[in-house]
Amino acid sequence: MECAEHNGTIRSGVGMTAHQEHNGAWWRGAVAYQVYVRSFRDSNGDGIGDLPGVTQSLDDLAKLGVNAIWLNPCYLSPQHDHGYDIADYRQILPDYGTLADFDQLVAHAHTRDIRVLMDIVPNHCSSEHQWFIDATSAGPGSPERDRFIFADGEGDGSQPPNDWPSVFGGSAWDRLDDGTENPQWYLHLFDSTQPDFNWRNPDVRTEFLDILRFWFDRGVDGFRIDVAHGMVKSLPIPRGTHADQSGLWTQPELFEIYSQWRQLAESYDPPKYFVGEAWVNDPEVFTRFTAPGHLQQSFAFDLLVQPWFAYRLRRSIEQSFAVAGQEDGPAWALANHDVHRLVTRLGQERIDKDPDPFDMLADARRDTPVNTALGKRRARAATALLFALPGTVYVYQGEELGLPEVLDLPDWARQDPMWIRTNGQQRGRDGCRVPLPWKKRGSSMGFGPDGASAPWLPQPEEFRAWARDEQGEDPTSMLSLYMRLGGLRRQLVGSAHRVHWADQVPEEVLAFSAGRLFCATNTGGEDVEVQVPQGAQMLLNTAVADCDVHLLDNGMSLADGTDFDSRTWCLPADSTSWWSLNGGADTE
């Protein structure tokens, strides 16, 4: 349908207020910004992003209204998996800086009321970690080997113990090359340079408590837990082919570990924070991650993988609230360093009404044509939907610029172990990790100093159009939208714990209230009319479109039975609108 000519005005800006903390739980209602350090900003011109580059950019992040930054691994590492292969959990990779640089970053962030989260990788370490070096030197059955998962091979020992696959492709087992007559095999669920720890060994548990304490004492405010559903394995391992894989993930002992970690977090004032990366489909199991005394939050990945259909998005949001901690709520994200960027995913035409949600990730739809203009429009709408949700919102760097996935990286530039281990069958994740464009001009678009070394991954020329300095003065840019959403979220969503659904909406629309905000998203390809509570004040529409406003005689009801007098607004195709309730937001 078409909407009539606009005869009202859309308020486009509100002032920011300080983020409200709830009994020290700063993450409730917060916006956290994910920093992939290697690609964020290069301060010394070596082509690699670093910690001083993050520190010098804190004012830019503060303008976005973020309450925390999450740093991808910046520990000492040979970088076979860009930091998720850790050789020393208490040292900083020299490419990124020093411990002094890290301390300075934390101090400067805290003066801006920005918390600092680190990435902890407890499932595995680097094959260059001293413990693994010691294990390869020690013999079978030694205390050193018991810190990892070693096993004899099948048959004459030349075949792996079983046929477990690696997440990155190939076998999950590699054989030692230690010069002995019959070398053992070691387990690595990811790359062969990432041996898995044996979390049934008390040395491992004690070591990680000490690691957490080391960083907490330096001022770190919390951790994102990598592969939070992994770690503990059922032993002894099954042998041979068609080996049962259920013992690899989410074992009961895992939650004993998280209980210990939470006790450590609560020993600080204010308490420290944990958010888990747990790809778990079983709702009953998922709830255990955020049960009382465990983690405060776990990522609601189900929303990230949903296609652009209103009923799928609503169902995912409902399910995510149902399994999240009642007080802390879900940790939401629409992008991260492991998936194609949002503009690209949403710019791919819909294949069917109910696709496999995981087709939205990685390479599953890599050959599907991308309509970038459509993707940008939908990404703006999806972002406004995201920012309207109670809980914690995580923003992956570059999403605030509307960057697309770099699908045409030259093969010579690709560095993801997924690309390497599958012999090019999977392109991997490098396309969402390309260094950021800060300036339209310059050899590296402001990522590093002019005349410096080329960025570690090549930047496409089209990135210049999305540079931060190009968007800062444009009120219709993606960057400006993010800044407005951040300020409005603080004022309107506040300490809300849940949403109240509006059910009298068209099929392609999902609409709800949260706190003093009313949000409606149209996932369809045509404009529609939606009923909005009487007296609600319009704040923004992501399509920057004009809409007709007229009152209706009938009212509307939210799913919880709350009745409102209503009026009708036009909601453009693939867009989200926000209205303030109960008198509106304070303005500057």
Is position 277 annotated as part of the catalytic site? yes
Distance CA 254, CA 73 (A): 22
Cβ count near 118 (within 10 Å): 24
Smallest CA-to-CA distance from 230 within 207, 197, 203, 206 is with 197
The torsion region of residue 21 among left (phi > 0), alpha (psi -120 to 50) and beta comes to beta
The torsion region of residue 47 among left (phi > 0), alpha (psi -120 to 50) and beta comes to left
Residue identified by tokens 């690691």 is 211
Report if pTM > 0.85. Answer: yes
For residue 348 the two structure tokens come to 């791919």
**What pLDDT score was predicted for residue 529?**
92
What value does the CA radius of gyration of the chain take, rounded to a whole number of Å? 25
For residue 328 the two structure tokens come to 């802390």
**What pLDDT score was predicted for residue 180?**
85
Q: Return per-residue pLDDT of the chain as tens, 588 residues.
A: 556 443 333 333 332 333 445 567 999 999 999 999 999 999 999 999 999 999 999 999 999 999 999 999 999 999 999 999 999 999 999 999 999 999 999 999 999 999 999 999 999 999 999 999 999 999 999 999 999 999 999 999 999 999 999 998 899 999 999 878 899 999 999 999 999 999 999 999 999 999 999 999 999 999 999 999 999 999 999 999 999 998 999 999 999 999 999 999 999 999 999 999 999 989 999 999 999 999 999 999 999 999 999 999 999 999 999 999 888 999 999 999 999 999 999 998 665 555 555 555 555 556 678 899 999 999 999 999 999 999 999 999 999 999 999 999 998 889 887 887 787 777 889 999 999 999 999 999 999 999 889 999 999 999 999 999 999 889 999 999 999 999 999 999 988 999 999 988 999 999 999 999 999 999 999 999 999 998 899 899 999 644 433 333 344 444 444 444 468 888 999 999 999 997 544 433
**What pLDDT score was predicted for residue 12?**
33
For residue 105 the two structure tokens come to 């970053």
**What pLDDT score was predicted for residue 584?**
46
**What pLDDT score was predicted for residue 1?**
53
**What pLDDT score was predicted for residue 22?**
56
Question: Check: CATH 3.90.1150.10 for 125-196?
Answer: no
E-assigned strand segments in 124-240: 150-151, 173-175, 185-187, 222-225
The residue annotated as part of the active site, out of 81, 95, 221, 277, is 277
Let me know: does 209 contact 257? Beta carbons within 8 Å.
Answer: no
Distance CA 547, CA 8 (A): 8
**What pLDDT score was predicted for residue 586?**
40
The residue annotated as part of the active site, out of 95, 144, 226, 302, is 226
**What pLDDT score was predicted for residue 53?**
99
The dihedral built from the CA positions of residue 314, 317, 323 and 326, taken in this order, carries a sign that is negative
112 Cβ partners below 8 Å, 6+ apart?
58, 59, 62
Let me know: does 49 contact 447? Beta carbons within 8 Å.
Answer: yes
Residue type, 248: L
The strand pair at 537-541 and 575-580 is best described as antiparallel
